[in-house]
Structures are given as structure tokens and as C-alpha cells.
Amino acid sequence: MNESKIKEFLDSWTKGVIDIGKAYSKKEDFEKEALKFLSKHYAFKTQQILFKPTFTKEKIFRNNLEDALSYFVKGRFSEDNGFALKPWEEINLQELNILDEKNLSTAMGTLSFKPVSSSETTLVAFTFIFCLEEGEIKIKIHHSSPVL
């Protein structure tokens, strides 16, 4: 893993979130799109994951595939409004700090989320710890929160 690969991964992650919302808006199978996104970006297939989504208060952590899916597209928990279903028009990387060591790569930064229906943006701070799963970069630990 290196800086360019991590930036490429983050571009794919932001595009994936936007694509879920587009599928929802077009009345397509957005849950299938979300499962594809989770499979591509998180190491649920082979590893234990720690996931603290941006906007959670009741069920703070979503450490399995079903709970993560619920956060992105509604479902299991009453507080889940479908983070990816907003839908988002743009998600822009504002700041990126990378720590790359032997067996550990970490990205910490901020993302600006702009919904389709508004000009206001939401700034989110994130920390992703990456691993390799079948030779692909995946998120093993995800922590994010709104910047107030």
C-alpha cells in the first residue's frame, strides 16, 4: 500500500457511496449496490471489522456486514436513515494524512459531503485502517464523525 493506492481506494469508496444513492434515486436495486460496495471496500469476507459510522447514537458500532448494510441503506435499527440514500452528489477529500508502516496503513482526513438537494455540505473526519484481503486494499477499521 502506498499513497497513490490509498487515494485511488478513497476515490473508489466515495464513488461507491454516491452510486448507492443513484441506484436508490433511479429505483434500482440499491441494496445490491450497497452489498457490492461493502464487499469491495471492507474486509468482512475474511477478517473481523471495527466500524463506527458517522451518524450513530443508539447502536454506535456496526462490526458485521448486516449492521453495516443497515447503516448505508436503512434496515435493522430505527436510527438508520440510509446514509448512502441521501443521495450525495459529491464527496470530496479535503485533507489526507497517511501512516504507512510494515503491516499497517492508516488514512486519516476529512471528506466534504454535498447532497443532491442542497448546497450545504457536511464535513466528516475519518480514520481508516487498511489491510489486504485477497491482494486488494480493504478497510479493517473505520471510524468517522461529523466535524462540528
Kindly report which listed range (3-17, 49-63, 98-112) carries the lowest average pLDDT score.
98-112
pLDDT tops 80 at residue 93: yes
3-class SS of residue 90: strand
End-to-end CA distance of the chain: 31
Minimum mean pLDDT range among 49-58, 68-77, 98-107, 109-118? 98-107
Domain count, the chain: 1
Rounded to two decimals, the pTM is: 0.94
- pLDDT band of 75, cuts 50, 70, 90: confident
Nearest-angstrom CA–CA distance, 38 and 21 = 14
CATH code of residue 36: 3.10.450.50
34-43, 96-105, 125-134: the lowest-pLDDT one: 96-105
Return phi, psi of residue 111, to 5°: -125, 135
Q: How far is CA 59 from CA 12, 22, 65, 80, 139, in A?
A: 27, 26, 14, 9, 20
Asked whether the predicted pLDDT for residue 134 surpasses 80, the reply is yes
Name the residue type at position 8: E
pLDDT at 66: 96
Q: Estimate the crossing angle of helix 30-41 against helix 65-73, to 10 degrees.
A: 130
Please tell me the predicted confidence (pLDDT) of residue 53: 96
Query: What DSSP letter does each residue of 4-72 carry, written as one string?
Result: HHHHHHHHHHHHHHHHHHHHHHTTS-HHHHHHHHHHHHB-TTTS--EEE-SS-SSS----SHHHHHHHH
What's the pLDDT score for residue 6?
Answer: 94
Give residue 79's domain range.
Answer: 3-146
Q: Residues 1-31: pLDDT tens digits? A: 888 999 999 999 999 999 999 999 999 999 9
For 38-52, write each residue's pLDDT tens digit. 999 999 999 999 999
Please give the pLDDT value at position 18. 97
